[in-house]
Amino acid sequence: MGTALTRRSFLKAVGASAAAACAARTGRAAPAGANRPPNVIVILCDNLGYGDVGCFGNTVHRTPHIDRLAEEGTRFTHFYATSGVCTPSRASLMTGCYPRRVSMHHTDTGDWVLKPIAHRGLSPGEVTVAEVLKARGYATAIIGKWHLGDQLRFLPTRQGFDTWLGIPYSDDMTARPNKPWPPLPLMRNEAVIEAPADRATLTQRYTEEAIRVITANKDRPFFLYLPHATPGSTRSPHVGEAFRGKSKNGTWGDSVEELDWSTGEILAALDRLGLDDRTLILWMSDNGAPRRKPLQGSNAPLAGWGYTTDEGGMRVPCLARWPGRVPAGRTCTELATTMDLLPTLAHLAGGAPPEDRTIDGHDIRPLLFGEPRAKSPYEAFFYYDVDQLQAVRAGRWKLYLPLAKKRGRGRKVPATGPGLLFDLVADVAETRNVAADHPDVVARLTAHAERARQDLGDGAARGAGQRPPGHEPKPTPRTMA
């Protein structure tokens, strides 16, 4: 209860100042856009790999609209999701914290992602980026996949979002033998409006809804979180009829090209409504492309696949566009992460992240705005596979830790010795282990890892800085009324 009370007082405090700011805005006619906090659109693709779009080197998928974000904005080439899979990755984007900090690194049964009718959810006591922005007077909407708890009290409508159209978990979690799961529910706020959801039409309907939300809120700041269903977790992505069979890379390529179309529709709407120069678009993926036979997605030139702590599993493509504010045609090679969204957007909205708790992310406005000599605020970044700390990065170096029992499908590392050290700048594909040449670097990164173990925990050992998850003792399925 203590956490929830603190959260309420935080929201009350920032809400009061936002209300005052609103009154000041409406009381006097200011020039359009002057000092107005930006609209924010976060487009999150699901399982789309580092090498899946043209502006990150893909030569097969046609992605002119996403590439336009790079031409008119900044590419972040050392940008990380905090996990190789959905639930923990999204928990970080929402809270600005490592998954273990908010205990969303695994489910009650030790699975990596939440399944339907889950006991666990993101604690209602956590403060989401939607709540921070709502308290600053933003309209807030989520269109797409939530995956932070499917029980009523864990839904996005209870975590700062005014409206929701989308699915509560992954699109491959459908009714099946031996699982008492309901038909895949499409939700409008807290009601199921379609089950099973017609997955092939989701990207198109999400896009239409996004344009409705943008249009309805064109005169006030809005936060639109658009976590797409695709390419997603199904063996063959569900694609709209207009895009099926149109790419040169099967349904995976079709879905990437449909996502590109969607991005183009949103850009056209912003242009039509005159919102270009007051809208920040952040485009990214929640984790790398998983390994499939035959091959589908691409994490090139990074090594490894989604669902692991390899670079290809957790380093994702990221683009930022805000004409006049975010430099156009620039590449940022500094380390940044999805945890930076909450603190950065809080400051852009004239607020601040919650101060009564640890937030792992940083305000990266200097990187976003391309300030000369701006550096990554990260001393170190930690790679967890479910509950196990497997690697640490500091500056250009990544150390895969020696582990007696390494879990998951990632890179094999000797159980003893210093671990494997790679220079991610000079050796992007991690082909040369240079641990023997740099014992000082190994020692420094090993010390960082030890601090993470104390603070965030490792395996069954709880970290001193972990906060509890939400728990629903009697979970129910989301079904049609």
Please state the closest distance from residue 284 (CB atom) to Ca ion, in A. Answer: 12
Judged by the rule CB under 5 A, the positions of this chain that interact with Ca ion are 46-47, 86, 286-287
Is 371:388 a contact under the CB 8 Å cutoff? no
Cβ nearer to Ca ion, comparing 38 with 304 = 304
Q: Select 150 or 363, whichever has its Cβ closest to Ca ion.
A: 150
Beta-carbon contacts of residue 338 (< 8 Å; ≥ 6 apart) = 79, 80, 81, 82, 89, 92, 93, 284, 286, 361
DSSP state of 463: P
SS in 3 state form for 368-428?
HCCCCCCCCCCCCEEEEECCEEEEEEECCEEEECCCCCCCCCCCCCCCCCCCEEEECCCCC
Q: How far is the CB of 197 from Ca ion (least distance, A)?
A: 17
Give the nearest residue (CB) to Ca ion. 86
Question: What is the C-alpha to C-alpha distance for residues 231 and 171, in angstroms, rounded to an integer?
Answer: 10
Least distance (Å) between residue 13 CB and Ca ion: 35
Q: Do residues 286 and 90 touch, judged by C-beta distance below 8 A?
A: yes
Shortest separation between residue 47's beta carbon and Ca ion, angstroms: 4
Q: Among residues 123 and 287, whose Cβ is nearest to Ca ion?
A: 287
Minimum Å distance from CB 202 to Ca ion?
15
**Nearest CA among 121, 2, 126 for reference residue 466:** 126
332 in active site = no
Query: Do 308 and 299 touch, CB atoms closer than 8 A?
Result: no
Type of residue found at 316:
V
What are the backbone dihedrals phi and psi of residue 380, each rounded to the nearest 5 degrees, phi first?
-155, 155
Three-state secondary structure call for residue 163? strand
Q: What angle do CA 404, 405, 411 make, to 5 degrees?
A: 100
Cβ 407 to Ca ion shortest distance, Å: 18
- Residue of 45, 55, 86, 318 marked catalytic: 86
Active site residue 55: no
Out of 105, 147, 228, 362, the active site residue is 147
Query: Is 46 or 260 the residue whose CB approaches Ca ion more closely?
Result: 46
Q: Which residue type does 138 have?
A: Y
| Minimum CB distance to Ca ion smaller for 306 or for 418 | 306
Tokens representing residue 93 in the block: 């984007």
Instruction: Compare residues 47 and 388 and give the one whose CB is closer to Ca ion.
Output: 47
Residues annotated as part of the active site:
86, 147
